[in-house]
Structures are given as structure tokens and as C-alpha cells.
Chain A
């Protein structure tokens, strides 16, 4: 837990890359640049 970032409202969002259906990297900054982004992290898939 100690190495986890503490991202709070008012701070800059961290840059991170996610994986698309085709296995391509999708940068978060490309997502929020298009408009407000709601990013929902699921606890697991399924």
C-alpha cells in the first residue's frame, strides 16, 4: 500500500497506458483530451 499513489481531486491525473481490444496501448491523456473523462476501475472482469 505504501507505494500506491494518492490521487486526489484537484491534482493532476497520472499518465498511464491501457490496453485496447487489439492489444494496442491507449494513453489516458488521449482519452481526457477529448472531453471530460469518467474512468471506472472494475474490481475484476467477469
Chain B
């Protein structure tokens, strides 16, 4: 996402990352990582629930694919800190237009099933050209 930031800016999209931890802890980790987008917390899990993002079972949290993603992340230089918030939440991503209509949705099938920046940018392109601003 960080490497594709210019693409989101060109499309005048606002990117918000949500974690199951509190707002302060979420902002602290985002600040440490230097991410350019807004980071907010959902400690009650109500937003996760509202978007249909449930909790992972054991097989959705521990698998070779998830291990491989963790190794790749480490190789890229990411150093995980102690997880905070509900660690069983499944990831997901949504593109919402200015009218509050969900235009693209993806729910992770397991803990490693994240939407990529490329597919998010394609979803934004389908909204049409960005308005003035």
C-alpha cells in the first residue's frame, strides 16, 4: 500500500486502515511504520461486525500460506511488534463511493488473505474519473 500511495492520491481516494486495537495504539504503530494513510481503531469490533468480518478459526490463522506471508514480510524488513486487539479478526477491504454505496468488497478467507493495492486501484478506476478538488 505504501509503495502504491501515489496511485491512491491520483484517484483522490482517502485510504483508512482499521485495526481491532484502540485508536491511540493504532496511530502509534502507523506512525512507527510511517504509513501515509489514516489509521483508526475499532476496539469494540462493531465496525468489523458491520462489514461482515468475523473471527478466524484455527485453520484460518495457522497455515503454510500464512507462514509464508510472514516470512516474506520479514524478508522485506518488516519487524512485527506484539499483536494488539482481537488477533482472531479476519481482514477485509471495501471501496465506498461518496454516496455511501459499497462499490467493491473483499473479505479475507484467512488471516493472510489481504486485498492488494493493485486490485484496490482497479476498483477505484471503475468509479470513473475523480471529481475536482
Binding site for B on A (CB under 8 A): 1, 3-24, 26, 28-29, 31-46
Contacting residues, chain A, for B105 (C-beta < 8 A)? 7-9
CA distance A31 to B102 in the complex (A): 13
Interface members, chain B 92-133 (any A CB < 8 Å): 92-98, 100-105, 108, 111, 114-115, 120, 124, 127, 130-131, 133
Q: Are B52 and A40 in contact (CB under 8 A)?
A: no
A16 nearest CB neighbor, chain B only? B47
Given contacts A11-B101, A36-B98, A36-B124, contact A5 B51 (CB under 8 A): yes
Listed A/B pairs (13) with beta-carbon separation below 8 Å: A16-B42, A16-B51, A20-B27, A31-B14, A35-B13, A36-B124, A38-B120, A39-B93, A41-B47, A41-B93, A44-B89, A45-B85, A46-B84
Select B25's contact among A7, A32, A45, beta carbons within 8 Å: A45
